[in-house]
Amino acid sequence: MNKNRLLQLLMAHQDRPVSGQEISDDLQVSRTAVWKQIEELRKNGYEIEAASRRGYRLVRIPDRVGTEEIMLHLTTARLGRPIIYKDTVTSTQEIVREEAEKGAKEGLIAVANEQMQGRGRLGRVWQSRPEQGIWMSLLLRPQVPPRYAPQLTLLSAVALAEALDSYLPEPTTIKWPNDIRIHKRKVAGILTEMQADMDEVQTVIVGMGINVNQNDGDFTEELAEKAGSIRQYAGVRQSRPQVIASILKSYETWYNEYLTNGFGAVKAAWTAKADTLGSFIQVETSRQTVEGKALRITEEGALQVQRSDGNTQTVHSGEILD
Ligand code: BT5
């Protein structure tokens, strides 16, 4: 039976109970099957009142990022289809990698309530506590040469930042290459991992970590000054499944634009949201610290810096110091 349809029915009638008969007619299943499914929902934390003869009423929806909860809000054609949900994982990147190896199609996502080994770039740790955020990875199989892969990191930043803006009182900014910030505090980070052969990308796994419902005091001491959550700026808790659906919608729109028309519009949108272009910066790379004025990003997603000696240096990966 379609669990999603049952949830939709219950949600549409939160003001009054729906009878078992009505549900079984609508879903074309027996009343016993309805009852079993109701029990299943209860196990997942849904509070459902059952009044004899009058039927079932949904009283409380759990704060869950499970497949059904996301499906209720999902409006995309390809992204988030299918969804793999796990309560606890090492990293959602691993789940998607395993699926990709088994031949999974573009669009698959993995979402977890908690990551035990959430990671950032260069082996850094990504704090992914239960309930508080969105820890999600997306599988893409774009047919582009490997040198264009960094463009996908920038595309991800634009798509994610725009989606989060609709939940915030003021727009987010992007710090090169992948930090989504508000008031200089990081609300989301992106990790792009690619597998490619000489001339074509095989898979890109885009990991997105979004701080949604953390309150003051929920971040570790190390992060207290540099991290922020949507809740801290919006003032209210947000529904994580709804935010996920918004992100995937925004992502699909930008990804289609990119596949059809190339990097131009993504680059323009990224540039408009960048909070460091035009200012004097210090970028730490694996070999040196580059100082100068941040000029622009290149077609390959690299950052161009004009040094004080007048020369322009292109930085492919690194960290802008605050
Ligand atoms: C990133 O790395 O920002 C990429 C984060 C990607 C996380 C997602 S969650 C789903 C998927 N599964 C994973 O295992 N990862 C992806 P980077 O630019 O290297 O930034 C890492 C730095 O951000 C850390 O060194 C901390 O300073 C800071 N940080 C860690 N956790 C944070 C959090 N929850 N919020 C804000 N900042 C955080």
Look up the ipTM and state it: 0.99
Say yes or no to pLDDT of 301 above 80.
yes
Strands 185-196 and 179-182 come out as: antiparallel
Q: State if residue 193 touches ligand 1 by the CB under 6 angstroms criterion.
A: no
- The mean pLDDT value for 131-158 works out to 95
Beta bridge partner(s), residue 195:
203
Query: What is the CATH number that goes with domain 280-320?
Result: 2.30.30.100
**pTM of the predicted protein model:** 0.93
What is the rounded distance in angstroms from the CA atom of residue 213 to the CA atom of residue 191? Answer: 21
Query: What is the CATH number that goes with domain 67-273?
Result: 3.30.930.10
Q: Parse the chain into domains and list their residue ranges.
A: 3-60, 67-273, 280-320
- The mean pLDDT value for 154-158 works out to 97
Equal CATH topology for 3-60 and 280-320: no
Are 181 and 187 in contact by the 8 Å Cβ rule? The answer is yes
Beta bridge partner(s), residue 145:
none
Q: What is the pLDDT of residue 1?
A: 61
Query: What is the CATH number that goes with domain 3-60?
Result: 1.10.10.10
13-57: pLDDT as tens digits: 888 899 999 999 999 999 999 999 999 999 988 999 998 778 999
Q: Which residue has its alpha carbon closest to ligand 1 atom 36?
A: 227
Say yes or no to pLDDT of 63 above 90.
no
What is the rounded distance in angstroms from the CA atom of residue 172 to the CA atom of residue 185? Answer: 10
Rounded distance from Cα 189 to ligand 1 centre (Å) = 5
Closest to 110 measured CA to CA, from 232, 46, 8, 193: 193
Q: State if residue 157 touches ligand 1 by the CB under 6 angstroms criterion.
A: no
The DSSP code for 60 is E
Average pLDDT, the chain: 94
Query: Which one is predicted more confidently, 186 or 200?
Result: 186
CA atoms within 13 A on the CB side of 21: 3
Beta bridge partner(s), residue 18:
56
Alpha helices in 88-226 (DSSP H): 92-101, 149-165, 221-224
Q: What is the spatial order of strands in the sheet that 173-175 belongs to?
A: 83-89, 109-115, 133-140, 201-211, 185-196, 179-182, 173-175
Q: State if residue 177 touches ligand 1 by the CB under 6 angstroms criterion.
A: no
Identify the sign of the CA torsion 228, 229, 234, 235. negative
Say yes or no to pLDDT of 218 above 70.
yes
Say yes or no to pLDDT of 137 above 90.
yes
Are 137 and 110 in contact by the 8 Å Cβ rule? The answer is yes
Q: State if residue 137 touches ligand 1 by the CB under 6 angstroms criterion.
A: yes
Query: Which one is predicted more confidently, 284 or 61?
Result: 284
